[in-house]
Chain A
Amino acid sequence: MRVFDLGSRTLRRRDILALIGGGAAAAAVGLPALAQEPKKGGVLKVAAPANPSSLDPATGGAGSDHSILWTIYDTLVEWDYETLKPKPGMAKWSYPDPTTMVIDITPGIQFHDGTPLDAEAVKFNLDRNRSDQRSNIKSDLASIESIEVSSPLQVTLKLKSPDTSLPAILSDRAGMMVSPTNIKALGNETDRKPVGAGPWKFVRWNDNEIIVVARHENYWRKGRPYLDGIEFNIITENATALRSVVAGQNDMAFQLPARLKPVIERAKDLTMVSSPTLYCIQVYFNYARAPLDNLKVRQAINFAFDRDTFVKAALSGLGEPARMTLPSSHWAFNKDVAGTYPHDPEKAKKLLAEAGYKDGLDLTIGGYTDQDSVRRGEVIQDQLGKVGIRLKFTRGTIAEISAQFFAQEKKFDLLVSAWTGRPDPSMTYGLGFDKGAYYNAGRTADPELSKLILESRVSEDLAKRAEVFAKIQRITVEQALSAPLAFQFELDALSSKVKGFKPNLLGKPKFENISLA
């Protein structure tokens, strides 16, 4: 086994990425070159953790879809693997004024069915994404007033209000372009017969079994992709997925839980990749009602958590303690508020007493039934128990418990779950903390916070945006609107013949750099 622990503090993440990505950097530090000139050809077999919700980016909804969608669809905007800063993809963008966004499309791109990817196609997609009855991403594009084709390869967006989160939004589902010809011909059937402009084209999808994609010969990036095709074998049981890689039936398994780390370490000829992600394990609060409407109670919970121990006990050390909803490597991380809640049980007890709970407090909490969630729940129960907060756990499937907490039922005071991360931080704070947001169980918000979320979308300058996010983080942290616990590292197992894999901060693998030895 070779280990690339990209969360390591001794070797900087950038250096290690260079090791994996380029032979030159590897040679410089005297390690064997891992990636020479990538070889073309071969079919990569991947154990995928979930059946996609849909292969139509507009109608799907599960975060696990992305890795598969990116093989079929390229996005208008892309991001930097390490920081998630937006960068040009199939198009470049500019803001001539704060309420106008111009998209310039790279010439010569074709969909898999030969349809040109031009301004008309982009307008068609964006209009569909923001208005179609079945579209799940309407809210992402809500700031757009109108879309005009200003030249064959240029689209102009008129905005209702300034929105600089759009480039990042266009690096996600909303920016995945589907062939208008296919949509017009097939209607609702396109989610099972998708046509995009990505490096691979769709071949086959058997539910809960397999998805096959094959090389798109007319791909716009010359010399790419390296792989002739990818087979996604859907294996929802993590341990089984890893066994399939150990047995040589698959070449790669991704998003494995930390508890499987020793299994990868014991296996011969496997490479382990572990790298930071935005995936934030946290305790959600319903702060619209007692007792969580009391700031002191929320702060007490935050002081009660020993996040370093949580990472060791619940994540086998494969994580970063979370001080806010963004990890320390993110461009918008605010280090000034990072030290707000050190582990301080005495302080927690004092705050509880001040809040009128001298003898402790009984709270209800929702959680999921899978092994890893149960383990997290036990650590949380133990840590809160030490300051006198007694938890009554209700467990169920994600669909059941999250609906009970976030939708109308409003069961439980707390929910232990995760925030899977978004390309732009304004999405994270808007969807999670804004007034009326679904992931804000109480639906209430400080008007100042709502104002700042809008403000975070005004400037294009990342430094200026970071200043606004610093204010947002100060509010969410000081008001203790949730209890972030840890950023989970991704854990992937690769067979030794897989070359060039680079993890990204979003924690959802892209296959564009992979080749087979």
Chain B
Amino acid sequence: MLNAARLHIVGRRVLQAIPVVVLSTFIVFGLLKLVPGDVAVTLAGDNASEQRIAEIREVYGLNQPFLLQYGSWLAKAVQGDLSNSLVSNEAVLTSIERCLPHTLLIVTLALLTALLIGVPLGIAAATKPGSWIDGVVMAIASLGVAVPNFWLGMLLVAFFSLQLNWLPATGAVAFTKDPWASLSHAILPAIALASGGIAEVARQLRSSLVEILSSQQVRTLHAKGLPPSSILWRHGLKNVSVNLLTVISLLANRMLAATVVVEAVFAIPGMGGLIVNAAMHRDFPVVQGVVFTMVLIVVSLNLLTDILYSVLDPRIAA
């Protein structure tokens, strides 16, 4: 799968990713400094006085020049030290190690749900375009896009947690600690997060499948007497797999961002809650750490997508 040419591409992409990561952390750092508000005010707390705020800036090095602050953060970060939270003093790496698995579990489950439900729906709609099945699927898809995931989340909690008492309403459990408890906590948030994804997968799959199934090439195959199921699986789906991959990759990125809202609804101590709380207090080491991690994940996902493209369709590899 990874021949010399592909290895070369991977190497080039990894090198290209470095400035992306650095630049994004620099921009976020700059934005945090540009927007009004000051972590020193948070640190001074209810007893704040101007003198105390000035003292805190001194003690925590917050009055150092912008580039120096960023530089010292970056120097530590490349050595694997993401500093400590200015507000709570917890090591940022510790927070991320604890929060990231919760977020990744929900996103993974949501992606799987989107595929498991979206793909059959898309196929069903595409094989009978214009039929009632197609209509129903497209209606579901429109609904899935239109319904905000936090609202769906609340409905799910109201029904499955508060009414039926089947699944927990809030919180999260580490997968390594108790896999079943972990999954039961993740199911509802994953479904809430997946709703838009199901719709998107179904619509994209339907439109690209319809296009291929109505092409000259497929008509020829029909004329040759090939069974429809074989045409669908061997010629149709194989051809749309690249499109589907694009959808999955975009969805994964989007879901990572959407967890901010879903995590708030379900009180999941994940990356979303971490960054929102930190941004509110201008706790820049935490914001930087989360952004750094998220950018790494997105860049890796994109890299993986590119490699898979070239596997699925060798013409893209160039």
Contact = CB atoms under 8 A, between A and B. Distances in A.
Interface of A: 51-54, 60-63, 133-134, 136-140, 188-189, 191-192, 205-210, 233-237, 240-241, 243-244, 246-250, 396-404, 406-409, 420, 431, 436-439
Nearest to B45: A61
Given A62-B45, A208-B277, A53 B87 contact: yes
Given A249-B168, A397-B37, A400-B37, A133 B59 contact: yes
Nearest to A61: B45
Interface string B251-287: 0000000000000111101000110010011100000
A437 B55 CA distance: 16
A407 B41 contact: yes
A300 to B, nearest CB: 29
**Which among A61, A205, A397, A420 has the highest number of chain B CB atoms within 10 Å?**
A61
29 contacts: A51-B88, A52-B88, A53-B43, A134-B59, A138-B52, A139-B52, A188-B89, A206-B269, A207-B95, A208-B95, A208-B99, A209-B98, A233-B170, A233-B171, A233-B267, A241-B267, A243-B169, A246-B169, A247-B169, A248-B165, A249-B168, A249-B169, A396-B36, A399-B37, A399-B281, A400-B35, A438-B49, A438-B50, A438-B53
Contacts of A248: 165
Given A208-B277, A399-B281, A249 B37 contact: no
A302 B39 CA distance: 33
B48 A244 contact: no
A407 B273 CA distance: 28
Contacts of B42: 53, 61-62, 399
Contact of A136 (B38, B52, B269): B52
Contacts of B48: 61, 406, 438-439
Nearest to B90: A207
A213 to B, nearest CB: 17
A240 B171 CA distance: 10
A111 to B, nearest CB: 21
Contacts of B277: 51, 208, 236
Given A140-B47, A240-B265, A207 B171 contact: no
Contacts of A398: 280
A240 B266 contact: yes
A139 B49 contact: yes
A235 B267 contact: yes
B248 interface: no
| Chain B interface main SS type | helix
Contact of A247 (B98, B99, B168, B281): B168
Nearest to B50: A438
A247 B267 contact: no
A208 B38 contact: no
Given A63-B45, A192-B90, 19 more contacts: A52-B88, A53-B43, A54-B87, A63-B46, A133-B59, A136-B43, A136-B45, A139-B52, A205-B90, A206-B98, A208-B99, A233-B170, A240-B266, A247-B165, A397-B280, A401-B37, A407-B53, A420-B46, A438-B49
B44 interface: yes
B36 A403 contact: yes
Interface of B: 35-39, 41-50, 52-53, 55, 59, 85, 87-90, 95, 98-99, 157, 161-162, 165, 168-171, 264-267, 269, 273-274, 277, 280-282
Shortest Cβ-Cβ A-B pairs, 6 listed: A61-B45, A400-B37, A209-B269, A247-B169, A235-B267, A244-B170
A325 to B, nearest CB: 15
A191 B50 CA distance: 24
Contact of A208 (B35, B55, B274): B274
**Which among B44, B48, B98, B162 has the highest number of chain A CB atoms within 10 Å?**
B48
A439 B99 CA distance: 36
A396 B38 CA distance: 13
A264 B37 CA distance: 35
A339 to B, nearest CB: 31
B171 A244 contact: yes
A163 B281 CA distance: 34
B59 to A, nearest CB: 6
Given A206-B98, A207-B95, A399-B42, A137 B47 contact: yes
Given A237-B264, A399-B281, A438-B49, A207 B170 contact: no
A403 B43 CA distance: 12
Contacts of B170: 233, 235, 240, 243-244, 247, 249-250
A234 B276 CA distance: 14
A243 B280 contact: no
Contacts of A188: 89
Contacts of B280: 397-399
**Which among B161, B169, B170 has the highest number of chain A CB atoms within 10 Å?**
B170
B89 A243 contact: no
Contacts of B49: 139, 436-438
A437 to B, nearest CB: 7
Contact of B46 (A61, A209, A241, A400): A61
A246 B49 CA distance: 41
B178 to A, nearest CB: 15
A495 B277 CA distance: 28
A469 to B, nearest CB: 20
Contacts of B53: 407, 438
Nearest to A427: B47
Contacts of A140: 47
Contacts of B282: 399
Contacts of A439: 48
B52 A400 contact: no
A72 to B, nearest CB: 15
Nearest to A420: B46
A443 to B, nearest CB: 8
B85 to A, nearest CB: 7
A251 to B, nearest CB: 13
B196 to A, nearest CB: 21
A402 B265 contact: no
Contacts of B95: 207-208
A399 B53 CA distance: 13
Contacts of A246: 162, 169
Nearest to A55: B88
A237 B46 contact: no
B31 to A, nearest CB: 13
A396 B280 CA distance: 9
Contact of B47 (A136, A240, A400): A136
A204 to B, nearest CB: 11
Contacts of A51: 88, 277
Contacts of B46: 61-63, 420
A134 B266 CA distance: 35
A98 B169 CA distance: 57
